[in-house]
Structure 1
Amino acid sequence: MIPAFDHNGVLPPHIGDPRVPQDMSPYPVTMLEVVQRFGTSAERRAILAGLLLMRRDMRAAGIEGFQWLDGSFCQDIEAQESRAPGDIDVVSYVRPPAGFAPTNPLPAWLKSDTAKPAYHVDHYLVNLNQRGEVIVESARYWSGLFSHTRLQVWKGMLRVELNATDDDQDALDELTELSKNDGGAGIPVVAAARPAATAQAGGAP
């Protein structure tokens, strides 16, 4: 369940006892829940379509793991700053498949500067095959960064499983229905996420 925004217009860092894991950020949710909660405008639906497309492309490359979702997309930024979000911030904690090696061109999801124009996602990767100390330091960095707004307001974030194919299909179906109100503008992006993709080789995160 995605908690309601607090008085600051952000997801709360916890919804009860902060010592209880299920009551604290990052909250485990489904992509269907994300679409139902945040697919409230054409701009937001375009971002969600891009995120679903990126998730499909990552799975097609054999990537497994989970993702943290954050940024102004997960805030009531329309009320706070009278604007729509421009993208969604995502950190993917992943295990690349054996033999995952660099090729040219690299898949767009592999780096933030290519993921943002391709998917509307400000995307970063943490390789779970690294040493434990490196993973802990990465989690400390991203947790600290994602847990505060630019004004240093404490906030929460969301966690979604990357390899939940059925959930993504349900999310795509919901997004298609919602996008019908956009004059069809978002539907080509949603439709692009439906066919099975040919796996792209790329550099290990």
Structure 2
Amino acid sequence: MSGTAIIPDWNVFGILPPIRPGSTAIARERSPYRATPLDLCRRFGHTPDRRRILQGLIALRAELAAAGLANGFQWINGSFAEDCESSRGRSPGDVDVVSFVPLGDATRQRQLIASHRVLFYPQEAKARFQVDHYVIATDVAFDAEQARSVAYWYSLWSHRREDQRWKGFVEMSLSDDDVDAVGWLARQDHDPPTGGTSDEH
């Protein structure tokens, strides 16, 4: 991927392309685009509203780590991953996130929900972090039911609801260090970025 942005630019419809431009139809260079927290911030943190959402996402990742759920990955999507400022005339209100993590047995899951309730109730996560958050267990048998669960999220998120256009989204590892992203966000108050592209600032 030398010389290629980690997360592509929006296409003419204001959404991430489902396949990296220039790739063949069967190439692996497609959504979800793997990125670090810093990549995500540089790509989408071009307004104060978006940076507040990114700060909330990083805070949610810290809550996941505190719960012992740092061994997994996240899919990042929603209007946050679109050029909704141009297409909808407004800033995104939140970011949609699904965290794929091992949850343990039923007893462990009950303990997690009791001690980290905000992670498992999307409305509470949205109110606290500006993250519409869902959790999928990965330490279960990959049977037909689990396959349907993963396919559900991919199918739901790979198409825009209002016009059914095929679109891309982003993947981040939960084991990635957020320190560089936190520092980048802090610096923007002094040297704000100028546009929503993949360029480094």
Q: TM-score, structure 1 length as denominator?
A: 0.82
* Equivalent residue number for residue 161 of structure 1: 173
- Where does residue 94 of structure 1 map in the other structure? 101
Cα offset, 1:18, TM superposition: 3.4
Q: Please give the root-mean-square deviation of Cα atoms over the aligned residues, in Å.
A: 1.7
**CA separation in 2, counterparts of 1:3 and 1:149?**
17
**Contact in 1 for aligned 2:74/2:172 (Cα 8 Å):** yes
The 1-side partners of 2:101 and 2:115 are apart by: 20
| Gap change, CA 1:101 and 1:68, over 3 Å in 2 | closer
The list of structure 1 runs, each at least 4 consecutive aligned residues, that deviate by more than 4 angstroms after superposition, is none
Equivalent position of 1:19 in the other structure: 26
Q: Output the amino acid matched with 2:110.
A: P
Query: 1: distance between equivalents of 2:185 and 2:156?
Result: 29
Q: Report whether the alignment pairs 1:2 with 2:7.
A: yes
Which deviations, in whole Å up to 9, do the C-alpha atoms of 1:89-115 show, x marking residues without a partner? 111111136763424354311221211
* Cα-to-partner distance string for 1:136-164 (whole Å, 9 max, x where unaligned): 11110000010111221110000000111
1-10 or 93-102, which moves further after superposition? 93-102
Counterpart of 1:111 in structure 2 is 121
Counterpart residue number, 2:155: 144
Tell me, in whole angstroms, the C-alpha distance in 2 between the residues paired with 1:179 and 1:172: 12
Residue 135 (structure 1) aligned to one of 125, 135, 146: 146
SS state at 2:72 partner: strand
Number of equivalent positions? 179
Aligned residue identity for 1:116 = K
Distance 2:167 2:15 in 1: 6
Q: Are the structure 2 counterparts of residues 179 and 95 from structure 1 closer, same or farther at C-alpha, using a change threshold of 3 Å?
A: farther
Contact 1:32 1:171 in 2 (8 A): yes
Query: What are structure 2's unaligned runs of at least 5 residues?
Result: 1-5, 193-201
AA aligned to 1:130 is: V
Please say if 1:29 is aligned against 2:39: no
Letter in 1 for 2:152: Y
1:110, 1:101 → 2: CA distance?
10
| Cα distance in 2, alignment partners of residues 4 and 169 from structure 1 | 25
Structure 1 139/58 Cα, relative in aligned 2: closer, same or farther at 3 Å?
same
Deviation at 1:60, TM superposition (A): 1.4
